Amino acid sequence: MEKFIIRGGRPLRGEVTISGAKNAAVAIIPAAILADGPCRIENVPDVSDVRILVQMLEEMGAVVNYADSNTLEIDPRSIDTCVVPSELGRMMRGSYYFIGALLSKYRRAIAPLPGGCDFGVRPIDQHLKGFEALGCSYNVQENAQIEVSAEELRGASIYLDMVTVGATMNIMLAAVKARGLTVIENAAREPHIVDLANFLNTMGANIIGAGTDTIKIRGVQRLKGVTYSVIPDQIEAGTYMAAAVATGGDILVKNVTPKHLESITAKLEEMGARVDEYDDSVRVYRYGPLRKCNVKTMPHPGFPTDMQPQIAVLLSIANGTSIINENVWENRYRYVEELNKLGAKIIVNGRIAVVEGVPELKGGPVKAVDLRAGAAMIIAGLVARGTTSIEDIHFIERGYENIVGKLAALGADIYRQQKPGRYNSNVG
Ligand code: EPU
């Protein structure tokens, strides 16, 4: 079994370059099928979720070429099916964006019910509510496939019952070529929503209001192939920022949009770190002790749920007791059991976690129970005394490009153990 092995105690120092945003790329790649010519997508993170999407596109008949490891050329003109490959589709949550895109293209999509990290129930009722409003009907088949279709897609007003990133983007995709005007209210405002809208608008769509809670989409007849560059990954940046603060380091995080990091920066500063913002980079450092603070996860521009496990590691070694309130997912504390194995003192009650700061963590064997939980285990390993080994690293590799190489370049003592007894030092 492959593992990350970390010997803790080294402050991170130096520079790290952030990759493109995974959660933007997983929507933009399916959106490329709407073009009537090839698209070139740059700054795509080289992570396993993206590679799965590429395989899905190829199985559907598209011609996909990696110009380099971060640039995809997608020619969708040879796609000849509205069926999403089910085995691959089940491996990741983001595969549901093919439903919106295929509806736009063919007014019909057959797709597996989505997989992804396990944080309790992950319904898609709001996606379906949006598709129905646009004129679709759907049925769930016995083999856990869903079929959605419409005679014609017509613009509609859709009020989302809760703020959801996935439904906002999927409805945007389905509506982009629908007849007339679609209005999504109570829309999510994450940077990747704006990125998807910018990509579609570059292709010729007519979308305004992305980044606010009301998005207006006027259907257009055709979308053209374009060149587009994905925004930097807010959560990858936040993860390195948290790792620098945890280890008492001093790093420059490059290729970021500081505005997207504000909620993370604010919390790190509250805990005693310093963050200096430049045009497209931030310097993060800490010299004094870590202070307790309370964290409530919220949709953007609130503190992101995808940074909750990483920040919990910082709180677990801060002075005093902190409270975390997880407002987005009903069960995103499965990592707590693992972190407590390293000496953290965290008690979970429903959506609340009480984190009592301890003087230090002690290395040991742990598991990555999901993507961000795995990132948290890495940060814990970097600060813990002794050696930490992390199993199930495939979760981490879903969303972090070359994490071992990037951390090693910052001075971390980390390597990927390929098989028991053999390893490739510093290979991500
Ligand atoms: N929800 C519903 N019904 C729906 C859709 C969502 O009840 O139809 C609920 C969810 O159960 C959840 C909340 O609404 O409680 C928010 O879900 P959302 O739709 O925003 O999440 P998502 O689109 O499935 C994306 C990211 C997640 C990230 C969330 C929140 C992708 C592929 N995933 O998920 O990212 O946590 O938004 O920001 O974009 C990660 O990267 O580690 C990750 C899990």
136 is catalytic: no
Confidence at residue 241, expressed as pLDDT on a 0 to 100 scale: 98
* Residues 300 and 312 sit within 8 Å (Cβ to Cβ): no
SS3 of residue 302 by DSSP: coil
Asked if residue 384 lies in contact with residue 361, where contact means CB atoms within 8 angstroms, the answer is yes
Model confidence at 418, in pLDDT bands (50, 70, 90)?
confident
Query: From the CB of residue 176, how many other CB atoms can be counted at a distance below 10 Å?
Result: 29
Query: Does the pLDDT of residue 427 top 50, yes or no?
Result: no
pLDDT of residue 420: 57
Place of tokens 């079929």: 147
**Tokens 């496990």 belong to residue:** 309
pTM of the model: 0.96
- The order of strands in the sheet holding 108-112 is 108-112, 145-149, 137-140
Nearest to 89 by CA among 101, 77, 72, 80: 101
Phi, then psi, of 17 in degrees rounded to 5: -105, 125
Q: How far apart are CA 273 and CA 241, in angstroms?
A: 10
Q: Which range has the worst mean pLDDT, 60-69, 141-150, 361-370, 382-391? A: 141-150
Helix (H) or strand (E) holding 311: helix 308-316
Contact 136, 155 (CB under 8 A): no
Residues 231-244 pLDDT 10s: 999 999 999 999 99
Q: What percent of the chain has pLDDT over 90?
A: 89
Q: What's the whole-number average pLDDT of the chain?
A: 94
Question: How far is it, in rounded angstroms, from Cα 56 to Cα 42?
Answer: 19
122 confidence band (pLDDT: 50, 70, 90): confident
Q: Does the Cβ of 26 fall within 6 Å of ligand 1?
A: yes
158 within ligand 1 shell (Cβ under 6 A):
no
Instruction: Please identify, by atom number, the ligand 1 atom nearest to the C-alpha of residue 23.
Output: 39
Task: State both tokens at 342.
Answer: 């390293």
pLDDT band at 116 (very low <50, low <70, confident <90, very high): low
- Check pLDDT > 80 for residue 44: yes
Q: Mean pLDDT over residues 194-221, rounded?
A: 98
Amino acid at 414: I
Residue-level pLDDT at 95: 84
> How many whole angstroms separate alpha carbon 67 and alpha carbon 39?
12
- Radius of gyration for the chain, computed over Cα atoms and rounded to the nearest angstrom: 21
71-75, 113-117, 189-193: which range is least confident on average? 113-117
Cα(269)–Cα(202) distance, rounded to whole angstroms? 37
Average pLDDT over residues 346-362: 98
pLDDT of residue 194: 98
Which tens digits make up the pLDDT trace of 394-413? 999 999 999 999 999 999 99
Is the pLDDT reported for residue 7 higher than 90? yes
Checking if the pLDDT of 211 tops 50, the result is: yes
First-to-final CA distance of the chain: 15
Residue 327 has pLDDT above 90, yes or no: yes
Which amino acid is residue 213, in one-letter code? D
Residue with tokens 């980079």: 281
Q: What is the largest CA-CA distance in the chain?
A: 63
Cα of 166 vs centre of ligand 1, distance in Å, is 6
pLDDT at 91 over 90: no
Q: What is the pLDDT of residue 336?
A: 98
State the distance from the centre of ligand 1 to the C-alpha of 336, rounded, in angstroms: 20
Give the model confidence (pLDDT) of 241-297 as tens digits.
999 999 999 999 999 999 999 999 999 999 999 999 999 999 999 989 999 999 999
Identify the sign of the CA torsion 340, 266, 248, 414.
positive
In testing the pocket of ligand 1, which one of 47, 164, 213 has its CB within 8 Å of the most ligand atoms? 164
Please name the residue that has the structure tokens 């897609």.
153
Structure tokens at 411: 């001075």
| Pairing between β-strand 214-218 and β-strand 181-185 as defined by DSSP bridges | antiparallel
- At 425 the pLDDT is 37
The residues facing 391 across adjacent strands are 367
Q: Are strands 71-75 and 108-112 parallel, antiparallel or unpaired?
A: unpaired
Question: Which of these ranges, 213-217, 307-311, 418-422, has the smallest mean pLDDT?
Answer: 418-422
Asked whether the beta carbons of 357 and 313 are under 8 A apart, the reply is no
pLDDT of residue 121: 59
Residues 175-206 pLDDT 10s: 999 999 999 999 999 999 999 999 999 999 99
Distance 97 CA to ligand 1 centre (A): 12
Unique residue bearing structure tokens 């009907």: 137
pLDDT for 424 beyond 70: no
Which H or E run contains 252? Answer: strand 250-254
Alpha carbons 276 and 268: distance in angstroms, whole number: 12
Strands 295-296 and 321-325: parallel
Q: How far apart are CA 327 and CA 296, in angstroms?
A: 7
Q: Do 262 and 277 meet the contact criterion of CB atoms below 8 Å apart?
A: no
Q: Whose CA is nearest to atom 31 of ligand 1?
A: 23
How much of the chain is in helix, strand and coil states, percent to nearest 5?
35, 30, 35
pLDDT band at 86 (very low <50, low <70, confident <90, very high): confident
pLDDT on residue 416: 96
- Cα dihedral 129, 131, 137, 142, rounded to 10, equals -80
Residue 337's pLDDT band, with cuts at 50, 70 and 90, is very high
* Predicted confidence (pLDDT) at residue 120 exceeds the cutoff of 60: no
The residue whose CA is least distant from atom 4 of ligand 1 is 124
